[in-house]
Amino acid sequence: MSSYTFRRFKDKMAYVFGFLCVLITIIPLGSILFEVVRNGFPALNVEFFTGLLGPIGQPGGGIANSIQGTLILIALTSIIGVPVGIMSGIYLAEFGDNRFGGTVRFFIDVFLGFPSIVIGIFAYLVIVLTMRNFSAIAGAFSLSIIMLPIVAKTTEEAIRLVPNSIREASMALGVRRWRTIVSVVLSTAKSGIATGVILAIARIAGETAPLIMTILGSQWFFAGFDGPMDALPLRIWRMSLLPYDYARQQGWGAALILILIVLTLNIAVRFLTRRKYRISM
C-alpha cells in the first residue's frame, strides 16, 4: 500500500490501541463498583442503618456505629489535618523558594508514599501506649499524618497555579501581602485546594491498617475520645472474613456505604466551591 495509506493505518491503530488501554483501566474499576452495588444493595435496610453489631453468627444487626465512627474520624482528622495542611501548602507556595522549603517538600513527598501500617505502629507507640488505651485520638492522629502531606502538596500546587499577574494586580492596588494571599490567591485556588482535601478524605476514609493499631474496633456507639471505637473499613474487613453469609453481605453493604459517603463529600465540596458568577453574557 502507498505510504500515505500506511500512515493513516498507523494513526488509526494508535488511536485504537489507546482506546483499548483506557478500557482496560476502566473495566476493573467499573466491575468493582458494579460488584459492590450488586452485593451490597441487598444488605441495606432500616436495621442495617440503625442497629449495632449483634452476636456473631446471628443474622441481623447493623453498622450504625461504624458509620458514626467513620464520620467522627473524618471530622476529627480534618480538624487537625486540613488547616495545618493548607497553611503548609500556602507557606511552601508563597514563601518556600529556599533551602528550607526544598527540604520540607522532600519530606512531604516521602510521606506521601509511606506505608500506612508503619504510621499505625507509630501512633500505637506514641498515643495508645501513653494513654494506655485504644482511642479516637490515636486514630485521628495516625490518619492526619496520612492526610497532611496530601493536603499540603495539592494546596501548594493549586496556589502555584494562580498566575502571578493576579498577585501583582492585588499588590499594585495597595493591598497587603497577607490579605492578597487570603482574599485573592486562596479564593482563586479554592477549587484546586478543595479537590486536594477531598482526595485526602477519600484516602483516609478507607485506610484500614492504622485503624487496627489505634481504634481497635467496637460493638457499641461512640463512647468518648479516649476509648475504642468502630469504623467502616474495620467493619468491612472483619465482616468479610467471617464464615457467615449474612456477615459477608453486611461487609459488602458497609463497603457500599463507605463509597457513598466519599461520593457525597465530593459533590458537597464541589458545590460549595463553585464559581458563583455566570461566565458568559
Partner 1 sequence: MRIKLDLNELKETDDLLTSKRNGTAQFSETLDKYKIEIELLNAWFSEKHALKDISMNIKANSVTAIIGPSGCGKSTLIRCLNRMHELTPKARVSGQVRLDNEDIYAGIDPVIIRRKVGMVFQKPNPFPTMSIYDNVVAGLKLNGVKDKKKLDEAMRKSLELASLWDEVKDDLKLSGSSLSGGQQQRLCIARALAVEPEVLLMDEPSSALDPIATGKIEQLIISLKEHYTIVIVTHNMQQAARIADYTAFLYLGELIEYGDTAHLFENPSKELTERYITGKFG
Tell me how far apart the alpha carbons of residues 42 and 105 are, in angstroms, rounded to a whole number.
46
Tell me how far apart the alpha carbons of residues 2 and 19 are, in angstroms, rounded to a whole number.
26
Residue 194 CB, nearest approach to partner 1 (Å): 13
170 contributes a contact to partner 1 by CB under 8 A: yes
160 contributes a contact to partner 1 by CB under 8 A: no
Tell me how far apart the alpha carbons of residues 136 and 128 are, in angstroms, rounded to a whole number.
10
163 contributes a contact to partner 1 by CB under 8 A: yes
**Using CB under 8 A, which residues numbered 84 to 103 contact partner 1?**
97
271 contributes a contact to partner 1 by CB under 8 A: no
Where do runs of H (alpha helix) occur along the chain? 3-40, 46-50, 64-95, 99-112, 116-123, 129-131, 136-160, 164-172, 177-179, 186-206, 209-214, 232-241, 245-272
Stretch that binds partner 1, among 2-10, 106-114, 184-192, 260-268 (CB under 8 A): 184-192
165 contributes a contact to partner 1 by CB under 8 A: yes
Residue 217 CB, nearest approach to partner 1 (Å): 44
Q: Which residues contact 41 (CB under 8 A, 6 or more apart)?
A: 253, 256
Residue 93 CB, nearest approach to partner 1 (Å): 14
**Using CB under 8 A, which residues numbered 40 to 59 contact partner 1?**
none
Tell me how far apart the alpha carbons of residues 181 and 142 are, in angstroms, rounded to a whole number.
30
Instruction: Answer whether 202's CB lies under 8 Å from 266's CB.
Output: yes
Site string for partner 1, 114-153 (x = CB under 8 A): ----------------------------------------
Binding residues (CB under 8 A) for partner 1: these are 97, 163, 165-166, 168-176, 179-180, 183-184, 187-188, 190, 275-281
